[in-house]
Amino acid sequence: MTIPDSGWYLSEASCLPCTPEEEKSIIQGLDRAAASDRKEGDLYYLVSSRWWSGWKHYVGFEGSSQKSNELASRPGHIDNSDLLSSEMDDEDNELLLRRGLVEERDYTLVPQEVWKKLKEWYGGGPKIARKLIPQGINKRELSVEVYPLCLRLINERDSSQRVIWISKKASIGELYSRICTLLQLEQPKVRIWDYFNKRKENILSELDQSLEEFPLLMDQEILLEVLVDGVCPPTPKMDSTGNKLALVPLEPSRSSITIAGGPTVSNGYSNGSLPDLVQGTSSGLWNSEDGKEFSTSAIRVDVRGLTGLLNLGNTCFMNSAIQCLVHTPQFIDYFLRDFSFEINKHNPLGMRGELAVAFGDLLRQLWSSGGMPVAPRLFKGKLARFAPQFSGYNQHDSQELLAFLLDGLHEDLNRVKNKPYIEAEDANGRSDEEFADECWENHKARNDSVIVDVCQGQYKSTLVCPVCSKVSVTFDPFMYLSLPLPSSVTRTMTITVFYGDGIRLPMPSTVTVPKHGCCRDLTHALSTACCLSKYESLLLAEVYNHQICRYLDKPSEPLSKIKDEDHIVAYRLPAKYEQSLKLEIMHRKKNRCTPVFQSTTSEKLFGTPLVTCLAEASPTNSNIQAAVSVVLAPLLRKRASENCSRSSKENGYGPGFD
């Protein structure tokens, strides 16, 4: 038996490698130890899912699609190159992480001790370290900050730009210190502005506050001002609330009717109760541009509330949920009035009223008399603080956000300050109506808010004991009904199968495979559909631009890497085709429009390449020509048949085809 050279995977510090079982046991122990003692500041390292999946197959982790009777090969060096972009960090001069990476799909996070052990065994890299940071309402939830905050610093003196990467947990003072060190400036002579959309929003002056408390977005611009002769440029005037006057349109409304049925709003406050959705008026439709009326019998419509939300980067899931809530008439009436007396700041289940205040401010902005789109930065910042799962700028489920938002608003606005203990009772023969009223009163005794008034109800549940036939009836509150949609766990793939011996024409075959399966599953499904014999084997390949760009010869390669638009083909070859020499046959055609005076001929690839095997280790030209003729035989027979049919039609023999 020949033992392959294994020196390439031996670490420099060890004489013999660990067995797969030993590696698995060591890594599991280190991972459990790190999980039991997690604390802020601990380092975690990103490992490419492609390499990590291969290692899991090698050591035999549960959930691996590798069959027990197959021996997985040992992975090579750790390769994290697919996680990095070509963009360089201005400060550290290192490659930056690619945007849009998703945990478990693109990378896996491993503790520091696990990384050290894998690095010792396999080498490679590069290392990508990130810290654990606290998140959530009470700062008890720890998560890895994979993407620190990216700020684009604009120097007002020369309009030069620099990119600053800094943790969202860093303080404003740390940001000042980083910038002053980078540009060799004195901190007392520096002022930094929130420069969202090229406008000076606010000065970052609270040095002790963290960056996450400010509405700073990923890739947002900040402006650097430096004292000139001891004086900074003048700041814009503010109103009593701290807002720039230019940002709050004060134009009064010309109408008291709104499309959503909301009240008239002047400077963000309600002037009356909710009117009917549509009301007739004696005057015509007002044109705000020229002050004329279109007709005398039209309906006057107020355009307030028809304000868009700016996308802050894949936040359409949030914007759609917000627009639904801010156009609910009952919420319009509630949040445009003074609701501060209902804010429950001491509810341990709430967000100290901050979420309700942020939502109310956003609703007032959307229903102000201005027509400019609104950037929900403050609301997004509050949301990320209290719900870390919605931090960052990846796509999320809109219903999950809506559920959290309604729960949070309810707890912030719960009118019940001290919840009484109420013991649940049975119906005891009472009517459903009477028992339902009692259950609802018990629920309202502990939960009473505008969210309960508008969005909550209760449904009836009936249980029958199969032994004694006792019937138990309960009425349970609900706020949303989630209806399950059929989710497919399989996918359909159509693969064209080519015969390597040329006995038949290529045949497309449609098979159903697991959505999260691997190439082995696809090969097995195709083998069954094509009635493959034990003397044959299938070779999968991806074709791009009429050439084979890669062979899918690794059985464990996940099918998730194959997109629906990829052109995948299969070749029927002898069972042990790996021991033979493969011959790829590509099709070229000459350009018939090439001018006669040109010495070169233009050739263009077309069709799908063919693959066959050569029995001889050192083939000759005649062997190659014979193999090509065999593979092309069915195609040539078809072409000859077409020519014969065409000739018969031209000579008047046989039926013709148009």
CA distance 245 to 249: 8
130 and 34 fall within a common domain: yes
Split at pLDDT 50, 70, 90, the class of 601 is low
**614-623 confidence digits (pLDDT tens):** 877 677 888 8
**Which residues fall within 8 angstroms of residue 460, CB to CB, at 6 or more apart?**
432, 436, 473, 474, 475
Q: Are 514 and 463 part of one and the same domain?
A: no
- Of residues 235, 118, 220, 207, the one with CA closest to residue 163: 220
Per the DSSP assignment, residues forming a β-bridge with 612 are 583
Interior CA angle at 172 toward 167 and 178, to 5°? 70
User: Which region among 116-120, 255-259, 452-456, 626-630 has the lowest average model confidence (pLDDT)?
Assistant: 255-259
Residue 526 clears pLDDT 70, i.e. is over it: yes
Nearest to 362 by CA among 215, 221, 479, 217: 215
What's 45's domain CATH number? 3.30.2230.10
Max mean pLDDT among 5-14, 200-209, 327-336, 475-484 falls in 327-336
| 303 — pLDDT class (breaks 50, 70, 90) | low
Residue 328 lies in a domain: yes
Contact between residue 614 and residue 627 where contact means Cβ atoms under 8 Å apart: yes
Instruction: Quote the CA–CA distance of 589 and 601 in Å, as a whole number.
Output: 10
Tokens read off for 600: 């070169």
- Domain shared by 208 and 266, yes or no: no
**Range 235-261 average pLDDT:** 38
pLDDT(118) > 90: yes
Q: What angle do CA 389, 393, 395 make, to 5 degrees?
A: 75
Per DSSP, 46 falls in state: E
> Considering the domain boundaries, does residue 97 fall inside one?
yes
Residue 55 has pLDDT above 80, yes or no: yes
Statement to judge: residues 21 and 138 lie in one domain: yes
Mean pLDDT of 209-220: 81
As a whole number of angstroms, the distance between CA 211 and CA 216 comes to 7
Q: Which two tokens stand for residue 272?
A: 């009356």
536 and 551 together in one domain: yes
User: Final residue of a domain: which of 95, 115, 144?
Assistant: 144
Looking at 412, 439, 462, the residue that finishes a domain is 412
Q: What is the 3-state secondary structure of 123-185?
A: CEECCCEEEEEEECCCCCEEEECCCCEEEEEEECCCCCEEEEEECCCCEHHHHHHHHHHHHCC
Q: How deeply is 194 buried, as exposed, middle or buried, from its count of CB atoms within 10 A (0-12, 13-18, 19+)?
A: buried
pLDDT of residue 623: 81
Region 272-282: what's the mean pLDDT?
Answer: 37
Looking at residue 258, its pLDDT comes to: 34
CB 350 within 8 A of CB 322: no
131-154 pLDDT, tens per residue? 988 876 666 778 888 888 888 898
**265 within 8 A of 253, measured Cβ to Cβ:** yes
Residue 555 CA from chain centroid, whole number? 28
**For residue 190, what is the domain's CATH number?**
3.10.20.90
Q: List, in order, residues 6 or more apart from 608 with CB less than 8 Å away.
A: 496, 498, 506, 543, 546, 567, 569, 587
Q: Are both 165 and 104 inside the same structural domain?
A: no
* Residues of the chain above pLDDT 70, percent: 76
259 vs 278: CA distance, rounded Å: 8
Whether residue 80 is contained in a domain is answered as: yes
Give 225's contacts (C-beta < 8 A, 6+ positions apart): 156, 190, 191, 192, 193, 232, 233
Same domain for 61 and 105?
yes
Across 264-271, average pLDDT? 36
Cα–Cα nearest to 439, from 453, 460, 455:
460
In a domain, 533, yes or no: yes
Supply the pTM of this predicted model. 0.50
What are the tens digits of pLDDT across the range 416-455?
Answer: 888 888 887 877 778 888 888 989 888 888 888 898 998 8
372: in domain: yes
Would you say residue 653 lies in a domain? Answer: no
User: Given a cut of 60, is residue 337 above it in pLDDT?
Assistant: yes
Residue 649 forms part of a structural domain: no
Confidence band, pLDDT 50/70/90 cuts, at residue 63: low
Are 471 and 604 found together in one domain?
no
Q: Buried b / exposed e across 613-624, counting CB within 10 Å, b at 16+?
A: bbeeeeeeeeee
pLDDT above 50: residue 243: no
Confidence at residue 241, expressed as pLDDT on a 0 to 100 scale? 37
Q: Is the pLDDT of residue 263 over 60?
A: no
Number of domains within the chain: 5
Q: What's the pLDDT score for residue 233?
A: 56
Establish if 1 belongs to a structural domain: no
Name the band, by pLDDT with cuts 50, 70 and 90, for residue 591. low
pLDDT at 95: 75
Q: Which of 144, 177, 204 is the last residue of a domain?
A: 144
The whole-angstrom distance between residue 128's C-alpha and the CA centroid of its chain comes to: 21
Taken as a whole, the chain contains a residue count of 658
- Residue 301 CB-density burial (10 A; 0-12 exposed, 13-18 middle, 19+ buried): middle
Count CA atoms closer than 13 A to 392's CA, side-chain side. 17
Residues 101 and 184 in one domain: no
Q: Which of 51, 120, 113, 59 is nearest to 79 (CA)?
A: 51
- pLDDT score recorded for residue 602: 59
Residues 523 and 594 grouped into a single domain: yes
Looking at residue 93, its pLDDT comes to 63
Looking at the predicted structure, is the pLDDT value of residue 281 above 60?
A: no
Regarding whether 129 and 172 lie in a shared domain, the answer is no
Residue 444 domain boundaries: 415-483
Q: Are residues 259 and 366 in the same domain?
A: yes
d(CA 106, CA 47): 9
Separation in Å, CA 239 to CA 156, 243, 245, 256: 25, 6, 6, 27
Band the pLDDT of 496: cuts 50, 70, 90.
very high
Instruction: Among 15-24, 293-302, 318-327, 384-393, name the one with the lowest average pLDDT.
Output: 293-302
Q: What is the pLDDT of residue 369?
A: 65
Confidence of residue 593 (pLDDT cuts 50, 70, 90): low
